[in-house]
Structure 1
């Protein structure tokens, strides 16, 4: 998903592979709660055939049209069958466009848009159902780079406002009311600016790396790579933080808030204050049950009240990642220092509390609660401490474990195979291989390691050929017959390279007679290469093997027949 727009019950999605997809989305309530759910039904899709991502998509219900920006071309599609409008409704060289939400013309069957072009120009168009009518050019001396500026499109007067860090932040602009806008400013500030170029409200203090924001009175909803935050424009204070990773865009569509990740779209639904109070009571009750050792009751309450999982993990010393800046809820949900205080030196009780956390985190992992790194890192530390068989699967499948913290913990409890897998997941292949070699050489002990065949398979699939050759000699000195699979079991999709050329491999394998014969057999019988020198070389090696057997006293007939 690159972009989306919602108009009434119609949801339009633009994808990175050049599709526009149309869904019908209907809001429903179910149960006694009642709970809000959304029913969606696909209406159709259109491939726009330019093999570029759809950058922007905007619906215009008054015209029964949608505007699409793709490959720097702005065009119109029919709102229902998604067919292009061919009557001159197209503008080329466009980098961005926006709709005038406060138009000056009174025609209900047209809309006004502003278009930014690649050249130093901004244009104003009137859009009708069959064409884009050019109204005005607004010339600018230099395109703004790393600075916000305000342009009066009637007089072309330009006023610079303030700079922003173009390397580390995305410029965001949102209309708040008539002639007032919110801009993403320096130092993670949200700056309010009027059409007079002044600010009449204090700025908002955001988190870093805001990627999208929207306004639903009186709240500013903003999103970075970890959270969706809600601030009030009345007192500029943060009211809520919702964990959400991988978000790309959020918007307010006639009072409905939708947020997109790379492959999914979610609705943000307001919760009545009565429910919020009830949820807080549930969370407080959960910690009371936890402190009294009623762990089954605490488990249910933690899950039902959707407590911030970090509140629970923080009760266990050093289980949160060292880079986590979490602070407990204010006002506090409990007065517990940590589980050491609750267990009062009783090892069995402390063990129960740790087993409780293992079960709780494993149950909520992957259920959309967020905080993947915090959950995975805490589980890794717990599994390492109790030598759980779940440690290897946790690391091997989409782990979010913090590397620095986890290395220290795995070394502490001597989980060397798991540490090697963690290095692998983080792309530290040399460190992973060096550790597994130590296990094979009995320099360190770890019975969970599968042995040299695992290293052989790993090297056979490693595309860093320089690193592969670093370990070839060690493998072949241990096991020639299986070690040669480093060269014979390589992926069929691997592009050719000088380091893996058959002649290069054969030259190297001369010191390993079993390996060189096996490799030549692979080239001749499996790859069916017709090069005469490979066939001749293999025949000579066969003959040498037979002659050596003949010279050997008491050779068995079976060995001679095999040769």
Structure 2
């Protein structure tokens, strides 16, 4: 019993929630267990009713009082526009509806045929063969659908208690049950005969039958079971414990899609698939059910005095209709037919759109959404706009309750116009166009909630902050989904980022392509006095630093705003004025921002106007105006060099850019850079990075004017550089002499030789210089040890002093 309680009660708690989740329970494991005491504890929560179906009379038999026992409806079959009535007196009445089944329809009686003296228990029509199969007196006969004459080519089938049809495109099968033989029989129905295909034995007397696909669900006197009509396999489900004395009906109805609706124990309507699994929560109806059928997404339940409508989506009772003396239900394409002993009533579903509107009027938005999103409504094709409206209204319900995740999801799916949210914030209405009118204004409930919320915002800053954070997140998403509203959305985002001091997001918004309204956003960025420079200087240091950063970002944002609208000079001027020395907020970030803007400008007048200002503040940063420009908008190099004449550091950076990045081969550029390096090197006699660059340039470049550079270097102490320049004129011996005699670096001459080549003549000349120079004998010996393979032994011996011993030259001689 514990397993059962967990599976069918605890497992189906979703039946009383607004949104049910799929629950699958295998009912086969519970056979033989009394379900009544457990399932009777299942809670039922009624909901407010609304009109899902309309009911109207389409046929009613009138006669005098003495004739009332001559006509009593027992069964019904409908195939538009034909209506067949089977009576308790054994007659068949053929009626035709004048129009489609509607509240104003009337049925016209075409023909009446008495076929037996026993009640007509079941009628089923086979359109493909024009057969009318009739079950009466436990016998099945075939009639013609038009004449109602018996088709003599069919043999009568005896001992039948239940009858259903299984009609496919290529075949028709009849499924019957026999109470006497306790069997299920499958027969193929043809044009003039039927043939038994399969028999499935039963244990108990069959009382109810329904077929769907290749499966049949049978309700017996003790339990419900499933039969596979192809294999003959039988599966017992569970015992129902219904009592005929208590007028409890064994009912089975096909839902479609291989699913059946059963009148289960404890007053529950249970849904069972052909595999024996319950995939949705049960319906809680009373034990006095007379008939039931599915009209997705609803189920109709007929009781003695009323017809109840249950939702298959949330299992709640939605409507109750008075039906006195109801006997049975026959499903139709758009509802059902209910019959009493004297009349037939049409139960038609209210159009889905009308149902949804009524739910919206009652603020039952979750139910409306559930209905629209059901698999039976085809929402996207037929009711897309209505679906979006309901999602947005449901989103507002979550919004007012601070369930922002749910609200965002519904707003996005419902394609909410973001201006509807902006309209709720009085401070943001200035960003809305004059022609905008909120679609929510006519909804009193929405307006009252909005007023309450706005009052709370005035008294609870933290609550207002949370709502502003939600709005910012939603508007970020709306930027992508509503490009036509970018101006309103971007302007509102700018205001939000300023209000919440979210400076990084503010700058990020304006650095990316945006549609902010210039005049409105300019006012937002300039109106707040708490960011003014004069006020900042009066604050506590930590507070001042914080506001300095906010002010800095705001200035950057204002410049970006101007730039995004093509007002480049104003964008630059904004930061130029801010970095005045009298302003306590001068900083490198503003300079970098200005330089970055100028480097991308095609407006050369603005560039030439403000470049001196940037160079004055920081040469290395300022020169990026020219070095960071895209190739297609580079400025004339001679004009730039002229401007940089008084800014030596910037000039060097620009010349390096021309040589290394632009690959310039102009002699002037190379010469200017060499002279600039030399001038800077002379200011610092120590070996520096600049001197290294100078030497590399003199060695590697073939474009500079050697004479001009040599003229500048000849009277200096830059011996290595002078030697390189002599070498560029071809005077390598002179270069070596200079390095040996004047250069304080002992290895300079040797490095010179190696840089050029390991030419023997040059090495021998260097050896000769060492030998003839005072105090350089050790250098000569070291040279001999390092390069024995280069220096010819014979020529070396010719120049060596006679006083040098063989032992002294052993290192050189061994290397030969």
Instruction: Pick the structure with more strand per residue.
Output: 1
Larger Rg: 2
Q: Which range, TM-score by smaller chain?
A: 0.3 to 0.5
Instruction: Pick the structure with more helix per residue.
Output: 2
TM-score, length-scaled by structure 1: 0.44
Q: For CA contacts below 8 A with separation 6 or more, give which structure has more relative contact order.
A: 2
